[in-house]
Amino acid sequence: MRRIAMAIFTGFWLCCALFFGLMFYERYWRWLDCFNELGRCFDPESGTVAKDSNFVYGLMAALALVLALLSAAIWRRLRTRSSSGS
């Protein structure tokens, strides 16, 4: 049961890392050279305003990726422990 839970946690954290990575790209990285002195970028074609504070999505993506790697390592350890114990 623990192996299934760790597999679910690993998948969840990988999905979070992907989501926040995409948000980081869409909300910050694409507009990196457009920010003005106020930290904003206006795109007249799409009517969106990007803010330089959106770099936080990158931090959340990195944190979710670290948590995914940790849960994958624990999942692997549980898999090897259960297969050697049988």
Span 1-22, average pLDDT: 91
pLDDT tens by residue, 36-86: 888 999 888 888 888 989 999 999 999 999 999 999 998 888 877 766 655
Assigned token pair, 32: 């990196």
Predicted confidence at residue 2, as pLDDT, reads 77
Predicted confidence at residue 85, as pLDDT, reads 57
User: For 7-11, which contacts have Cβ atoms below 8 Å and span 24 or more sequence positions?
Assistant: 7/75, 9/71, 9/75, 10/68, 10/71, 10/72, 10/75
Predicted confidence at residue 83, as pLDDT, reads 67
Contact 57, 24 (CB under 8 A): yes
pTM beyond cutoff 0.85: no
Contact 25, 35 (CB under 8 A): no
